[in-house]
A = this chain, B = another copy of it.
């Protein structure tokens, strides 16, 4: 809500990401972005000569980097890191937002993918890079918890897929049910992968 005191250019990228995740790419106008960032309209063509496409791509990139950084911060906040606990924190970020600020926004990367993947290829690539970076951050965290390297990326993909899908359902239903459900159902599976590499069945507690 509050726009931090940063350089105008960065503010515009930030505002773009925020508006995109609420209204979608097509429904977000350049004029809206400038107004939301309290930046002059004329600066848009100055900072983003590539037009809307460039602005959207940078917003997507920003969101991807933000998601990756959050993973590192979640990791640092966990006294005894386990994959299930990390996933619970990732989900919690969304339930907290939805319960305190309403179901107004989704994931900007998802929004960009849904309505630009078929038309603007550079935006599709930006979204792909965002997912890749995010997945890499999660996979790195998993290996640090004892998950075998070859299982880290698949599990990270599963976590992000479930989270993105649950965000969608949560917004549609205006309920955090789907989010809490995927966290609860996936937690044991993730933790088992950290303790028992071969099958996750034997080592027990």
Contact = CB atoms under 8 A, between A and B. Distances in A.
A158 B172 contact: no
A177 B157 contact: yes
Contacts of A177: 157
B106 A117 contact: yes
Contacts of A4: none
Given A111-B115, A115-B23, A158-B182, A131 B164 contact: no
Interface in A45-88: none
A165 interface: yes
Given A157-B181, A161-B162, A118 B104 contact: yes
B131 A103 contact: no
A124 B177 CA distance: 16
A194 interface: no
B162 A178 contact: no
- Secondary structure dominating the interface of A: helix
Interface residues of A, number: 52
Interface string A103-131: 11110011101111111000010011011
A133 to B, nearest CB: 12
Interface of A: 22-27, 103-106, 109-111, 113-119, 124, 127-128, 130-132, 154-155, 157-158, 160-166, 168-169, 171-174, 177-178, 181-182, 184-186, 189, 201
The 4 closest A-B pairs by CB, nearest first: A24-B115, A161-B165, A26-B26, A164-B165
Given A105-B118, A164-B164, 10 more contacts: A24-B25, A103-B117, A117-B171, A127-B172, A161-B161, A161-B181, A162-B182, A164-B168, A165-B168, A201-B201
